[in-house]
Amino acid sequence: MGLGRIGLWSMELRFGDPDAIVDAATELDELGYGTLWIPGAMGGDLLGDLDRLLGATGNATIASGILNIWKHEAADVATWWNGLPAEHRERFLLGLGVSHGATVGEAYRKPLSAMKDYLTQLGDAGVPGDRTCLAALGPKMVELARDRTLGAHPYLVTPEHTAIAREALGAGPLLAPEQGVVFEANRERARDIARPYVQGYGRLENYANSWRRLGFSEEDIATTSDRLVDALFACGDTQVIGERVDAHFAAGADHVCLQVVGPNPGANDVRALLPAWRELAPALIRT
């Protein structure tokens, strides 16, 4: 698939004002971002939100980052996918994830088995494996991504994780890590913006385990240390962000999607992030 070199991962492009989302998506497409990713872990009308982005763009791939398999029946997803116009199907990547026991509740069961079953159901209903990817952090999920999908879309990871995932995937499959970004020159201010994101995810065992495997200590995770924040977020100007992106590519990434976190988290203000998205595009998007 044509994901391009650089994409954007954005809460705002899903939960912001619908008219602002359409205008922004059209502009981001014109700026050359290869893929626009939106989250789906919380369920809701994700498929309708993906339709909005597909309709607003003509070149960029639109991807779910990720669709929570506990929130959407495979049969419903397959019916939607099969009903897409051919042009939209060609520009869509279905990112899937198993979410977390703490957020799913009693319905949660062995995540690897559940994902295998879900992929089988999608395949039986006509969705090709190479139109899907997995939010793979741990070794077993990375192997499943390698064997049954286009590849892996890890979230909140470092270039070191990218190198480990590339080794496990081998040379062929897609590796498209998300990279958190705070476009702010003041390092302490940038950390203050990024820290609540890291802290929230650190309460979820899948992420905490991923960071432990990368060598972060219990204290790093419990205190959301500067070391952990700096490893997971690129904080600074276009040069600093570009260096982090280049580190992912040097470690084996095929595509990096940037999540730009602004100074007013949770506001879902699309227009507030447009200046950063505009400035990053010429600095990072290369043909």
In the prediction, which pLDDT does 105 show?
A: 62
Tokens 């990218």 belong to residue: 162
Contacts for 117-122: CB closer than 8 Å, 24+ residues apart: 118/69, 118/74, 119/144, 119/148, 119/149, 121/74, 121/75, 121/78, 122/74, 122/77, 122/78, 122/94
- In whole angstroms, what is the distance from residue 28 CA to residue 36 CA? 8
Helix (H, G, I), strand (E, B) or coil at 268: coil
Q: Which DSSP letter does residue 105 get?
A: -
Q: Token digits for 254?
A: 């095929």
The reported pTM is 0.96
What pLDDT was estimated at residue 101? 59
Query: In order along the chain (287 residues), what is the average pLDDT of each group of 10 residues?
Result: 94 97 98 97 94 98 97 97 98 91 67 96 98 96 98 98 98 98 94 95 94 97 98 96 98 98 88 96 87
**In this predicted structure, what is the pLDDT of residue 43?**
87
- What does CATH list as the number for 6-284? 3.20.20.30
Which is nearest to 97 in space by CA: 138, 128, 45? 138
Give the SS3 label for residue 222. helix
- Bridge pairing between strands 178-182 and 174-175: unpaired
Place of tokens 């970004």: 181
Give the tens place of pLDDT for each residue, 107-145.
Answer: 667 889 999 999 999 999 999 999 999 999 999 999 999
Per-domain residue ranges of the chain: 6-284
Q: Given this model, what pLDDT does residue 66 score?
A: 95
The amino acid present at 179, given as its one-letter code, is Q
Query: What local confidence, expressed as pLDDT, does residue 286 receive?
Result: 78
- Residues 171, 220: contact at Cβ < 8 Å? no
Q: How far apart are CA 119 and CA 136, in angstroms?
A: 14
Please give the pLDDT value at position 28. Answer: 98
